[in-house]
Amino acid sequence: MTLVVAIVCGVVLAFAAGARRTSTAPDRYTSDFGRSFDARIVEDDRSLPRDEEVAALAGVASVNAMTFVFGGLRDASGSDVEFTLIFSGSITPAGVRLVDGRLADPAQETEFVATRNFVEQRHASIGDSFDLATLTQQQAHDNGYDMSNPEGPELRLVMVGVVDGASQLEDPTPLVVVSRALLDEPDVGVSQTLMDVDLEPGEDLTSLRAQLDTLPRSDTLSVEPSQLISEPVRSAIQAQARGLWLLAAVAAIAAIAVLGQLVTRQVRPGHDERRRLSAIGFTDGQVLAEAAGRAIVPIVVGSALGAVLAVVPSGRFPSGFVRVVEPHPGILVDLVVLLGGCALLVLAITSWVLAALALSRWTTRPVRPSAIVEAVAGRAGTATAVMGMRLAFTRRARERGSVRGSVIGVALAVAGVVAAVTFGVSLDRLVHQPFRYGSNWDAALGDNGADTLPDGLVDRLDTSPHVRSLTVFAGTTARNGDTSLPVLGVDVVRGAGAPTALEGELPASEDEIAFGRVTARSIGAHIGDEVTLAGATDTRLFRVTGIAVVPGLGANDGLGEGGIVTVAGLARIDSDAVPTSAAVQLDEHRAQFYKSIPELADVTPAPPFMPPSIVNVARIRAIPFVLAGVLTLLAVLTAGHVMLTSIRGQRRDLEILRSLGADSGWISRTVRWQATLLIALPIMIGVPIGVVAGRLVFISFADSMGAVDGASIPIVGIAFGVVATIIVANAIASIISRTMRHREPTLLLQSE
């Protein structure tokens, strides 16, 4: 029993320690990284970085800037290096740090550092050379990231260092950061500039915003809190930590219940033992104390040994993608969790055992048959069904268990399994159905950094027989008070390609707006409210008509962030904003569609854009199924233990039936009925509770991100699980009844 307690408690404490290590990883990583900045400024006007202007402000202590460059790399063999982002400047706004080599010399335009995934994908080493080709600013304005004919400066670059950091979890695209001197080259096409800012003492984001408003073109400078680990990544890490905490909590509850029952059944005096102890002068209190004393030893020793065992797997945490932000991987002795958890487990299991022993004085009293059981049994079709029901739900005086407690325990385990599977299936559907996070089209065209759509493209798309719906988008950045937010202008040319409305309606006139759920919460906007937005050219009032899933296009990650207006409504606050993207839903002839549009003849269709929050959800979607697996194992063990103790506890009744003439087949059918009913009732109770709980948890989770919150009920999976559970229960019952049939009734009934 001590070893059983040690193993079970060790598993619980290992999960708890892993959950705490996972939840604290972001803060420990930030502390170990060395520093964090006070603010992040995003400059979005396609010009050279204005970090010197920002650094000259009275409230700014220092600025580190990096600027996106429209360019592409070729390796020594002349092959294009695809899917790589190129920046120029400091590495700090990228949220990475040097892990090998050295940083690029700011005065040497030919030096660069690259992220670890770039090195791994290209099999590159420090000292390798790459050719950089860039676009001119006009090319970037007209065609975006079209590298078919670069006319900007070309350079031979040398890799001098490798960088890595938690930011790669949000966007795993390989990253190259070239020396700041690259921007001194004439006519290099650039886009956004990211600036990490340290403020002077006493300054905050509000005062920084006020000082930025004194600069020319201040509308192109947005301010937000600076985080070394972004909110989507933190949310994903905390989601994994919550899953581990939940796993630990469920395992702890199950461990307390299972170990409590096991220890109690081992130490509780039976009817005959209690009678003998009473005959030699033991009081009820002394009987209870003697049994409790025997119980405490395996509980205390086993829990302490479990705390030691829990250290062994600590090196496995954090698991998965979170290992990137663990500053010190390896074995960790978390005394807070191990000692505190051990004490709580000892207290909880001991309390369970003491309560069960204290209540055991009533187990010697005759137990009357349940009126409900008798009423239902009287209407059963066969004698074996009647007897199976009575054996399943009527406890005898000599039995050490409780039918009600057993049913509740199995029902809770079943509810936990169903809730975890419901949540997991819903989460998996969220990841694999793009419309749930805003990508309700087959292809987004023109979203490559250009300032306008190619001339005539919208007309060609509108007349294409392969296009079922066509929607055009324009974007800008606006301010509501001190909050900067992306605003998307949307016009549906034809078809049903509009964004998904979660509440209310999408905007239909130029003075209406729908917000993403996250932005609506952050600025306190509700349907029917009026909000003021300050754009690049004007400030206007908009009426909130709904809450929607904001598509991710351009610089906007979408989902719960930003707002949606009509294209005409967007022109009210930014008269220069024009459509830069077109989204289409296609028929089954997609290959013909791409060939029929000249601009798309050589384009490889890309998968739907996946916001960082969904990327991180995809990383943790296995956790609910792991939890369901653990709960399933506990449910099977609990159900098997219940059947074993129930059937063995009533073996006298079965042997009496054999003495009265019941043959082996009759006994087997009775036992199978008993097992089926013992499992069927908890399933009937647990499945509805689990479905409701799983749906509610998923709806809350999806709403927190701003995604479509429709939950999926895995009816087929639940039905399969129910049938499989009943089959397993009958198999266990058959094994038990077979062992019982080999014993002579006279041996068991000789004391009667």
β-pair partners for 548: 501
End-to-end CA distance of the chain: 31
**Cβ-contact 474, 570 below 8 angstroms:** yes
Q: Three-state secondary structure along 591-611?
A: HHHHHHCHHHCCCCCCCCCCC
Q: Comparing C-alpha atoms, which of 595, 560, 592, 597 is closest to residue 582?
A: 597
φ/ψ (deg, to 5) at 551: -65, 150
pLDDT of residue 397: 47
For residue 575, the SS3 value is: coil
Residues near 751 by beta carbon (within 8 Å), at least 6 away in sequence: none
Residues in the chain: 752
Those residues of the chain that have pLDDT short of 50 are 362-366, 397-401, 748, 751
Phi (first) and psi of residue 459, to 5 degrees? -65, -40
Give the three-state DSSP class for 105.
coil
Helix axes 284-309, 231-267, angle to 10 degrees: 140
Contact call for residues 74 and 165 (beta carbons, < 8 A): no
pTM: 0.69
- Say what the pLDDT of residue 352 is: 86
DSSP 159-211: EEEEEE-THHHH--S-EEEE-GGGGGSTT--EEEEEEEEEEPTT--HHHHHHH
Sign, CA dihedral 544-549-555-557, equals positive
278 sits in which H/E element? helix 271-279
List % helix, strand, coil for the chain (3-state, nearest 5): 50, 20, 30
The CA-based dihedral angle spanning residues 374, 375, 381, 386, taken in that order and rounded to the nearest 10 degrees: -10
Q: Write down the pLDDT at residue 84.
A: 86
Q: 543: which residues sit within 8 A by CB, 6+ positions away?
A: 511, 512, 513, 528, 529, 530
Inter-residue contact 325 to 229 (CB < 8 Å)? yes
What tokens appear for 276 in the block?
């003998």
Token output for 27: 């803060």
| Residue 318 preceded by cis peptide, ω within 30 | yes
Q: Which residues contact 2 (CB under 8 A, 6 or more apart)?
A: 297, 298, 301, 302, 305
Determine the pLDDT at residue 536.
84
Alpha carbon 701 to chain centroid, angstroms: 9
Distance of CA 512 to the CA centre of its chain: 33
Furthest CA-CA distance within the chain: 105
598 backbone dihedrals φ, ψ, rounded to 5°: -55, -40
Q: How far apart are CA 434 and CA 520, in angstroms?
A: 22
Nearest residue to 86 via CA among 10, 7, 175, 14: 175
Q: In whole angstroms, what is the distance from residue 147 CA to residue 449 CA? A: 12
Indicate the DSSP class of residue 430.
H
Q: Which residues contact 665 (CB under 8 A, 6 or more apart)?
A: none
How far apart, in whole angstroms, are the C-alpha atoms of residue 28 and residue 140? 41
Beta strands in 270-426 (DSSP E): none
User: Which phi and psi (to 5°) does residue 508 adopt?
Assistant: -115, -25
CA distance 12 to 10: 5
The ranges assigned to domains in the chain are 1-36+230-365, 37-229, 368-437+612-752, 440-609
Catalogue the E-assigned strands of 495-534.
501-504, 512-515, 530-534
Kindly state the helix (H) or strand (E) to which residue 544 belongs, with its residue range.
Answer: strand 539-548
CA-to-CA distance for 8 and 317, rounded, in angstroms?
19
Q: Quick one: DSSP state of residue 584?
A: E
Pairing of strands 85-89, 80-81: unpaired
What is the Cα Rg of the chain in Å? 34
